[in-house]
Amino acid sequence: MTHPRSSIADPVIRVRGLRKVYGDVEAVRGIDLDVARGEVFALLGPNGAGKTTTLEILEGYRVRTGGDVSVLGVDPARRDPGFLARIGICLQATGIERYLTVREVLELYAGYYPRPRPVSELLDTVELQDAAGTLVRRLSGGQRRRLDLALALAGDPELLYLDEPTTGFDPEARRGAWDLVRSFRGAGRTVILTTHQMDEAEALADRIGVMVDGRIVALGTAGEIVGGRATGTHIRWRTSRASVDGPMAASEPSTLAGSLVQHEPDGGRSLRTDDPSRALHELTGWAMTQGVVLDDLRVGRATLEDAYLELVAAHGRDVSSDAP
């Protein structure tokens, strides 16, 4: 595994040997993590990997079973009001008073904090000015999520927690949320987020921790994670359905240039090789002689997704069922 940078000066979050057990389920099984001030850090992993549990321990919602945790210099489990005033939490799908307007809810929550951000500024930040007088119950899903973000920002936090911030967003709304995170960190503040979307982690995070089955199995920049894992060239293709029957299927190569051909769950084939010229030569040669059509042939460098899938597979879990 890629090891954490041994120590970061002035970490906002410092975690050593974190464990959390629910009954006889070990949800978090020994995590070490440092997040620096001003950083955007993403916990990436399949559903059930322990991301939300980890985040909720760092937020002060849950008490850990073992290990040391320090956030903004204090133990979040103590739930000190001074600590809670310095963080902002955007939870997954959480209720808001339905019979208040957007402005009233923001005023209500801003009133909980010692140094709140002005409500008009919050409305501007999440672009809800036009919906300020709308009752929460009449908001669209995307508007509610933006209100969630605004509520997380109400206390003018130094550290923002985002638990799957864009799940259920359309692509445009996702871009909007990403811009918001970027503008927040631009002000020198720290963000820790969870996601199971590779592109989100790659687009937002300075560093990524890949979490599988309660452990961080890779930690670093997207480039470091890809470099440390999936190397070489990735070749992907599929063959036309009409041609994949009869004698051709039997002749389908199981290796190309000495590398094993992988069967993807969607019926496609993939291969990782350090000798792309030879592999492609063999592949196209086979296709030519057999009269097979190679659909959707793609050749590229290994991506974060490749590295991620490899990491998840290597740590013994089937992601095809729970990754989106």
Question: Which amino acid would we find at residue 208?
Answer: I
| Footprint on residues 65-124 left by other proteins (CB under 8 A) | 81-82, 84-85, 87, 89, 91, 93-100, 104, 108-109, 111-114
**Residue closest to 184 by CA, chosen among 217, 224, 227, 153:** 153
Shortest distance (Å) from residue 86 CB to other proteins? 9
Per-residue binding string, other proteins, 123-162, x by CB under 8 A, is ------------x---------------x---x-------
- 316 phi-psi bin (left φ>0, alpha ψ -120 to 50, beta other): left
* Binding-residue total with other proteins (CB under 8 A): 28
What is the C-alpha separation between 241 and 142, in angstroms, rounded? 40
**Residue closest to 211 by CA, chosen among 56, 28, 65:** 28
φ, ψ of residue 258 to 5 degrees: the values are 85, -5
Shortest distance (Å) from residue 236 CB to other proteins? 40
Sign of CA dihedral 164, 309, 15, 56: positive
Cβ proximity to other proteins: between 96 and 294 the closer is 96
Q: For helices 141-153 and 171-186, give the axis angle rounded to 10 degrees.
A: 10
Shortest distance (Å) from residue 100 CB to other proteins? 5
What is the C-alpha separation between 189 and 198, in angstroms, rounded? 23
Per-residue binding string, other proteins, 33-72, x by CB under 8 A, is --------------------------xxx-----------
Shortest distance (Å) from residue 87 CB to other proteins? 8
List residues binding other proteins (CB under 8 A).
Answer: 59-61, 81-82, 84-85, 87, 89, 91, 93-100, 104, 108-109, 111-114, 135, 151, 155
